[in-house]
Amino acid sequence: MKTLAAFVFPGFETLDYFGPIEMLGGYGSETEIITVAKNREPVPSVHGQKIVIDKTIAEKTDYDLLLIPGGVAAHEAGADEELLQWFRDVSATAERVMTVCTGSILLGMSGVLDGHRATTNKMAFTRTVPIAPKVDWVKEARWVRDGKFYSSSGVSAGMDMALAVMADLFGMEMADRIALGSEYEWHKDATRDPFAKLAGLV
């Protein structure tokens, strides 16, 4: 079983988090999902509902997998050096590191993605990528894999990326069954990105 640190911060985007969790949870025996935050208090999403925390960043850094969602407050979370150091520590030993939407910007602010290819929300692309200028930002991609780092475009793209990670870890047959069980139409082509065109990036 893989341990998954599913990080949250105040104002996280709900589908960025819960969409991938639905896929990464597999059938219950593949991953142990551990909700992580800076502090112990329940963390509100951008829509107001609060999520209970399993571990704080001070309690544990040795996870097999890391998931970082995005949200309009991601860059504010990135101002916390203690949090950025936790990203560095976890990413150093994790087997897979995943970001959704502006969660890619948040991880990029830690320096972990410097020199790596990554993508992020296309509607916010031009105003957010300068925050992490050493990342090799990909304008047109549903998600991007660079070694153990997986990054995805806006919100719903995180589910496609998460299924790709499950296929990588446990095989395509399992990933297909997870998508079928969710009645989800999985876009397997990582380069399929109509939103890049809509945002005027390509």
How confident is the model at residue 140, as a pLDDT? 98
Name the 3-class secondary structure at 105. helix
Q: How confident is the model at residue 38 (pLDDT cuts 50, 70, 90)?
A: very high
Query: For residue 115, with 0-12 CB atoms within 10 Å meaning exposed, 13-18 middle and 19 or more buried, which class applies?
Result: exposed
Tokens of 122: 């296309």
Sign of the C-alpha dihedral computed for residues 148, 105, 176 and 90 taken in this order: positive
Cα→Cα distances 182→24, 51, 66, 98, 135, Å: 12, 22, 22, 20, 33
How confident is the model at residue 9, as a pLDDT? 97
Domains plus CATH for the chain? 2-198 (3.40.50.880)
Q: How confident is the model at residue 49 (pLDDT cuts 50, 70, 90)?
A: very high
Each residue of 132-175: pLDDT tens digit? 999 999 999 999 999 999 999 999 999 999 999 999 999 999 99
Q: How confident is the model at residue 39 (pLDDT cuts 50, 70, 90)?
A: very high
Each residue of 101-128: pLDDT tens digit? 999 999 999 999 999 999 999 999 999 9
Percent of the chain with pLDDT over 90: 99
